[in-house]
Chain A
Amino acid sequence: MDFPHILIMLAIYTLLVSALNIVLGYGGMISLCQAVFYGVSAYTTAILTTWLGWSSIPAMLVSGIVASVVALILGSISMHFRGNRFVLLTISLQVIVSAIVLNWTGVTGGTSGISGIRGPSVFGFMLTTKWEQAGFAVVLAAIALVLLSRFHDSPYQRAFSAIREDQLAAQSLGKNPKYFRFSALVLASLFSAVAGSLYALTTGFIDPTSFTIDESVFILAALAIGGSGNVRGPLVGAAVAVFLPETLRLIDIGGGSAANIRQILYGCALIIMMRFRPKGLAGNYDLS
């Protein structure tokens, strides 16, 4: 087993599932475009570090800003979209951005992607080994979990969850749903942006296949399995998402069909969870 790689992926999925937890777990907004923020950030980081020679931290900061701008665009369009219409809007955004990434070859490299991305560096120190990079990823994920824990215990979360439960009642107490939805989308985009930068910096190569709607659905499945509305649910979901394929690899199921078998297993796990444990393994709310 490639433990440093597993740790890096665990950190990345902790960030991604936590991001969706903010939007869906607390806010009740089913978003199927989490891979957009992930991808936009990964590409921004790759372009800034590879073509413009920026170092990792400034590139990550700018990637976060770019992802936030995309979230603000989504937020302003989605102000009048709720429920199923919001889901369709996020799918549309995902499809549009995936098409742009695939076809804007001059910037994204199209199907060839961008390769040769330098590894992360922190304050001038290059993190060259996989273990160093894993440590960097785990520290970032841990910071995200601490922030999510503050978020969970805050009056902000209380009001945001109240809007999810009954928007009109929350408004009658002076809570502005637009502010909460906007700010939560931006916060979630920042979490996803960190994941995207980490992915680009630690794998050294990105292409459009990592940021499709399949990835957004996979993040949603991980949240459904782990559970939402608290800090531990996304962590459990990320662990399942990362360890399940590794376990399959270890016991050598499927040979050449391993990827397909993995998809089938995720699908079955999701159906079983929805039927018998709709709150997920460690969640507070079910996703209905």
Chain B
Amino acid sequence: MISHSQASGAKQAKLIIRNLSKSYGEARVIRSLDLEVSSGEIVGLIGANAAGKTTLLNAVCGMISINAGSVTFDEVDLTGLSPHRIAQLGIGRVFQDVRLFPRSTVLDNVLLGFGAQSGERLWNVFFAQTRVASNEGRNVDSARQILMTLGKKLPLDIPAETISYGEQKLVALARLLALDARLLLVDEIAAGLSVPMRHKIAGLIRQLAGENRGVLVSEHDLAFVSETCTRVCILSEGRVLTVDSPGEILRSRVIRRLLYGV
């Protein structure tokens, strides 16, 4: 088990997207899209560039407003909630460009993932130091444990910008474990990675889903999708073209034409 949570896996929660639409001016990026992601499932989103994959992830985690439809998670309506509130509900995001805090250390990057930290309340910083120190001590231990169980020995006290790109993606995953996210939104995590690192991350994602987490993976790398996902959803011009198992999807002529033009 690679979660810091003492519970035996995350609590069941389901993401339900209904009739979602998003436009930028005249451009309709997502059109009446329906999708569900249950706990333990890894759903892959594939499609050509500008198919609406990243926009969909942005809509789920509140980084853009939607024009129509609804997004609910664990029966909570996410529409109109701010990104930090959505994160507090247990939805974590790995960005396409990773977005670690470059000048903060590797350890601090992971520590930032922990929610409800006593030392993040200004009053406690000055007037409840013992409680802050004890909470921080526990979080540091958990962060070290998370990083250790990711299976690669990372230097903890150096700025995150100095570690390799693949290692940065591991740290980004570690942050979501610290957040104890029940739904992981993972955007093109395989891009730019070596084959061994890709296998490693695919294994980690499967392991996380095995702990009852839902995972929504936006990806161009079909081999990675095939290795990781339990279901694959193909997006085209903001619509769901089809949803099927990775094997069926990869055999499909429609997909080959869509993605490779053959």
B-side contacts of A187, CB under 8 Å: 122
**Chain B residue with the shortest CB-CB distance to A160:** B120
**Chain B residue with the shortest CB-CB distance to A162:** B101
Residue A85 at the chain B interface, CB threshold 8 Å? no
**Chain A residue with the shortest CB-CB distance to B58:** A168
Contact A150 B125 (CB under 8 A): yes
Chain B residues 85 to 137 lying within 8 A of chain A, measured CB to CB, are 85, 87-88, 92-93, 95, 99-104, 108, 111-113, 115, 117-122, 125-126, 129, 132, 136
Residue B14 at the chain A interface, CB threshold 8 Å? no
Contact A156 B125 (CB under 8 A): yes
Contact A155 B117 (CB under 8 A): yes
Residue B210 at the chain A interface, CB threshold 8 Å? no
Residue B63 at the chain A interface, CB threshold 8 Å? yes
**Alpha-carbon distance A165/B161, docked complex (angstroms):** 12
Residue A256 at the chain B interface, CB threshold 8 Å? no
Interface size class of B (residues with CB under 8 A): 35 or more
Residue A76 at the chain B interface, CB threshold 8 Å? no
**Alpha-carbon distance A80/B179, docked complex (angstroms):** 27
B-side contacts of A175, CB under 8 Å: 84, 112, 120
Kindly provide the distance from the CB of A247 to the nearest chain B CB, expressed in whole angstroms: 35
Contact A154 B87 (CB under 8 A): no
Residue A54 at the chain B interface, CB threshold 8 Å? no
Residue B169 at the chain A interface, CB threshold 8 Å? no
Contact B95 A169 (CB under 8 A): yes
Number of residue pairs across A and B with beta carbons under 8 Å?
Answer: 87
Contact A147 B122 (CB under 8 A): no
Residue A23 at the chain B interface, CB threshold 8 Å? no
Residue B175 at the chain A interface, CB threshold 8 Å? yes
**Chain B residue with the shortest CB-CB distance to A229:** B103
Query: Contact flags (1/0) for B124-156 with A, using CB distance below 8 Å?
Result: 011001001000100100000000000000000
Residue B61 at the chain A interface, CB threshold 8 Å? yes
Contact B87 A174 (CB under 8 A): yes
Interface of A is mostly: helix
Residue B83 at the chain A interface, CB threshold 8 Å? yes
Among A168, A170, A174, A187: residue with most chain B CB under 10 A:
A174
**Chain A residue with the shortest CB-CB distance to B61:** A172
Contact B104 A162 (CB under 8 A): yes
**Alpha-carbon distance A172/B139, docked complex (angstroms):** 19
Residue B82 at the chain A interface, CB threshold 8 Å? yes
Among A147, A161, A171: residue with most chain B CB under 10 A:
A171
CB < 8 Å neighbour of B87 from A150, A156, A172: A172
Contact B121 A162 (CB under 8 A): no
From known contacts A155-B119, A171-B84, A174-B115, infer whether A165 and B104 are also in contact, taking CB-CB under 8 Å.
yes
Among A155, A156, A169: residue with most chain B CB under 10 A:
A155
A-side contacts of B175, CB under 8 Å: 173
A-side contacts of B121, CB under 8 Å: 156
Kindly provide the distance from the CB of B5 to the nearest chain A CB, expressed in whole angstroms: 15
**Chain B residue with the shortest CB-CB distance to A169:** B99
CB < 8 Å neighbour of B93 from A162, A172, A177: A172
**Alpha-carbon distance A166/B175, docked complex (angstroms):** 15
Contact B132 A154 (CB under 8 A): yes
**Alpha-carbon distance A154/B133, docked complex (angstroms):** 9
Kindly provide the distance from the CB of B87 to the nearest chain A CB, expressed in whole angstroms: 4
From known contacts A151-B125, A172-B92, infer whether A158 and B111 are also in contact, taking CB-CB under 8 Å.
yes
**Alpha-carbon distance A184/B122, docked complex (angstroms):** 8
B-side contacts of A158, CB under 8 Å: 104, 108, 111-112
Contact A171 B125 (CB under 8 A): no
B-side contacts of A156, CB under 8 Å: 119-122, 125
Kindly provide the distance from the CB of A77 to the nearest chain B CB, expressed in whole angstroms: 19
Query: Contact flags (1/0) for A132-166 with B, using CB distance below 8 Å?
Result: 00000000000000010011001110110110011
Chain B residues 47 to 68 lying within 8 A of chain A, measured CB to CB, are 61, 63
Contact B99 A171 (CB under 8 A): no
Contact B129 A150 (CB under 8 A): yes
Kindly provide the distance from the CB of A18 to the nearest chain B CB, expressed in whole angstroms: 14
B-side contacts of A50, CB under 8 Å: none
Contact A166 B99 (CB under 8 A): yes
Chain A residues 48 to 83 lying within 8 A of chain B, measured CB to CB, are none
Chain B residues 7 to 64 lying within 8 A of chain A, measured CB to CB, are 61, 63
Q: A169-B100, A176-B84 are in contact. List 8 more A-B contacts (CB 8 A).
A: A154-B119, A156-B125, A158-B111, A172-B83, A172-B93, A172-B99, A176-B85, A183-B122
A-B contact pairs, 19 of them (CB 8 A): A147-B126, A150-B129, A151-B125, A154-B119, A154-B125, A156-B119, A158-B104, A159-B112, A161-B101, A169-B95, A171-B83, A171-B84, A172-B87, A172-B92, A172-B93, A174-B179, A184-B122, A187-B122, A285-B103
Could you list which residues of chain B lie within 8 angstroms of chain A, going by C-beta atoms?
Answer: 61, 63, 82-85, 87-88, 92-93, 95, 99-104, 108, 111-113, 115, 117-122, 125-126, 129, 132, 136, 139, 175, 179
Could you list which residues of chain A lie within 8 angstroms of chain B, going by C-beta atoms?
Answer: 147, 150-151, 154-156, 158-159, 161-162, 165-166, 168-177, 183-184, 187, 285
- 5 closest residue pairs by CB, A with B: A155-B119, A171-B83, A174-B87, A169-B99, A171-B84
